[in-house]
Chains A and B, each alone.
Chain A
């Protein structure tokens, strides 16, 4: 008990002392996840809105595929991208392995199906009269999508936040593709795994607390958005 309590106190001391090593890791983690979320959102929102607003052959298959990809283990994505980015892989000459870019790509791929699926759900949950109303008022396909996104923006933002939450908590692909290099690709989750294995429980715990804090802030933002929507 003393061990845990002492470690917790030491972790809190590390956080309150604004230890630069800890906050560098937090900054790396947040920046990688933010960029990954931004890239995924830029692709997933248009794809999700287009899928939701149009009927086409294979639409159900697309949704089944997205549901499957949402449950895909992160290490599988890490493994596949490792094969692509490793020196002998087809994209090895890009030199992306063990760089933040590789982690960003992996996280963006990981959260794309989540964001796209939740965007489809967000658009489908809009009032069923919205689309026919806009069409009858003369909306072009682009302005239809624009106004649908505008009406469902809180639900779509919730999809982006959920994706960000998934990205910042990701460990498997970040470890395999980033290599956990200090000050470069070391994220909060990979640092926790490393520090705990080294016996540096306090540092791991401090990062764990900060990760929980970020998760709490995200959930708070989600609840606020849902409250605003309703």
Chain B
């Protein structure tokens, strides 16, 4: 065969392999409102940058007549490309080929591209659309999953790992996304669960639809497994591009510093917080009043919304924001909000992103369900994550900071680098009502009019202690600042913290309260 003929043969082979599961399966995929595996990768990456590898990989399963079956690319597309001009590794499971089922060679293609991502120190993006294990391959299929999970763990905190759920992702398969940094889901398309509706029906006798059990909304609102919700695949891809623009592409880099504009003047910092300390407000308006162009990229917006986390920039530098949200559940810390904040703090710390904490909380949520649900263990995660973090940590106390909540929210005592407070801040061991009841118990109970005495003592306590100056007098607060000065103070703090280094006791790793 001449070289020309051989090249023609190659082109033919390529075309054949790129058909995936064939016309029928491809049109079925389209009918479900889903893009094909290669289409997804091309839509996500910078135009013309995708290079595919392992197109000709074949499975070598023999049992159950598998020897006769040709599965193009073994049901997964892998390769490299660029996003925002920077290299990434990517894979997309192809549901049209044997339902995207995971056999040994399918898994080997994935682990090969993961190994590349780790060696080249570039982000890894995995698009999941798979019916699960390829049962015909038996324990080999389980081996495949295990090898993926192992690499997810190795890569964790080293390169960003992003999971995109664009179809079913069931059984053991869910653990790869769970081990990665961010999980993106699309309404009506994403389905994730460990045991599906069928099993639940047989075992429990309870009927539930796939959507209600493990649809996109459930994971974003109820379970907290997913971080970003989109109405369509294309919206989801925009969110991924946006996220990657904020974060460094491995743990040895810092995020790119970008050109910046001032925040929108309509965010009047002095007017956002109501004068009545019992009234709520949306803390995201405070964040938007601080960030370049008033842009804030929120993470896990729909879950545990009593704490707000996400990225914004100040003077071009990416900042991880953690803020109590008085508009929801008075901004209390509870099991879910502690879990949400702690993981994000560890993410920022792993990837050299300075953390700005905005504090306004009455403390931890009282409740039997909270205590029995292990709020001690979960709440401790916040303390652990802040204490452990060595990136620049800047805290602004906007209003209430009482008791354990004050300590937990990146206080000076957990080694925050800069702690600022607004003039309306109330920093005290307890709220005035609780404190007055304990300190002046005798005076109140023996008074002629106990209620009048109680109110008087609450007022007395409020005036003496519910302010930022007691803490400032001890040096626990570095500066009491005007709301309008906040952006300036944070920008300066970030600037002077550029070479920050902290030395912790040498150890293999700590034992955080997982």
Whether chain B is bound by chain A comes out as no
> Chain B residues in contact with chain A, CB under 8 A?
none
